[in-house]
Amino acid sequence: MRERVREFLGVWAPMILGLVIIGSAVGFILSPTPPSTSPYFVVDPLAYDVCGLLLAFIGGILVLSTFGRWRKTRAARTPPGEPPKS
């Protein structure tokens, strides 16, 4: 039981979090710029898109690093003469 909780917290939770971040980044990129209600605070459309792209980048780094760590751990657990499972 403890091994399953550890695997979920170490592998699957960061991957899910990364995918949620990527999903919100897609929402930023695809949604129109919110209207400005204040004359002092104007939302630049370019800044809105850059925010979405940075979120996608951060989510991608989180997913890829977690996936690489999971593959490395799984390869270390396989016996030396046995080919790694796909």
The domain limits of the chain are 2-77
Query: What does the pLDDT read at residue 84?
Result: 63
CA pair distance 38, 56, nearest whole angstrom: 28
Query: What does the pLDDT read at residue 51?
Result: 85
Tokens of 37: 């209600």
CA pair distance 58, 37, nearest whole angstrom: 30
Q: What is the pTM of this model?
A: 0.70
* pLDDT average per 10 residues of sequence, the chain (86 residues): 81 89 87 69 76 91 88 78 66
Query: What does the pLDDT read at residue 59?
Result: 92
CA pair distance 40, 36, nearest whole angstrom: 9
Query: What does the pLDDT read at residue 5?
Result: 84
